[in-house]
Amino acid sequence: MRTEQISPRYVELDSWPTDEILAAIYEGQLEAAAAVRSALGAIAAAVEDAVPALQRGGRLVYAGAGTSGRIAVQDGTELPSTFDWPADRLVFALAGGLDALVRSAEQAEDNEAAGAQAMTDAKIGADDVVIGIAASGTTPFTVGALRAASAAHAVTIAVANNPGAPLFEVARHYILTETGSEVIAGSTRMKAGTAQKIVLNLFSTAVMVKMGRVYRGLMVDMRARSAKLRQRAEAMVSEIVRCSESDAVRYLQQADGDVKTAVLVGLGVGRSAASQLLQRHEGNLRAAIHAFTGQDD
């Protein structure tokens, strides 16, 4: 596996000056980001397949072990706060359980049956989207999870950093970011991990955009649960409606803090009618505004 290979360039790394060590690691991070470029088409195909399933009520499911699993959990846990994605439509299948987030459980990743059982326990079905992440692409737990999810007709997506990975054989979509050998041989928390994080950022964000949870580059499904977020919500309503911040505060109060509803109220839609309008258009603010005004903005 290329992610495990020793690079001749770095065999004397521990004898280098600190600035040269840092420069080498930094260059590796740039290489990781560049490796994602060739995967954009595969990511787009996965997004286009995932969105209809999620619109039917499916769940986002992340499966992985070790560093890959932790990166997956990090991506998923950001979705409720950023896009108000329902927590009950998120599933995390982590080798060793969620305790493995803070305490390594390396042996757990070798159990393919446990990965499959995690999918059975989660009652994975055809409307679910299951993302399996493994730098090597060989991790038995993750292979087992994706194999079982594919058998349940879920939308399955494999993310790995080695070409020809077994993980790719058990998924509907595969996303390869070929990051090669690490500065520290086998330490896939570095280049491979960075590429994985970028892939998941791109995938989950694009999914949320396509599902109408973003409007004009703003996270309009965000829930204002803190002073900072309340200020952000006020600024968004003010920007979209083109009103004063004091008016934005009033619209948000009328809308019980819901940004999309507040925008429609600010545009002249009644509170109840705004909710119904959004419901008719599956929460898509652009479509709701167009229906009310005949214009996109």
DSSP state, residue 188: T
| Closest to 149 in 3D by CA, of 123, 173, 180 | 123
The DSSP-derived string for 256-272 is TT-HHHHHHHHTT--HH
Q: What is the spatial distance between Cα 106 and Cα 122, in angstroms, rounded to a whole number?
A: 22
What are the respective helix, strand and coil percentages of the chain, to the nearest 5?
Answer: 60, 10, 30
CA-closest candidate to residue 165, choices 186, 149, 142: 142
Helix (H) or strand (E) run with residue 90 in it: strand 90-94
* Distance of alpha carbon 240 from alpha carbon 197, whole angstroms: 31
User: Which residue numbers are catalytic?
Assistant: 78, 109
Residue 105 CA to residue 137 CA, distance in Å, equals: 18
* Contact in structure between 206 and 200 (CB atoms under 8 Å): no
Task: Provide the greatest CA pair distance for the chain.
Answer: 69
Q: Which residues of 110-125 are buried (b: 16+ CB within 10 A; e: fewer)?
A: ebbebbbbbbeebebe
- Which residue shows structure tokens 């001749």? 8
Measured distance CA(226)–CA(1) in Å, rounded = 46
What is the β-pairing status of strands 90-94 and 155-160? unpaired
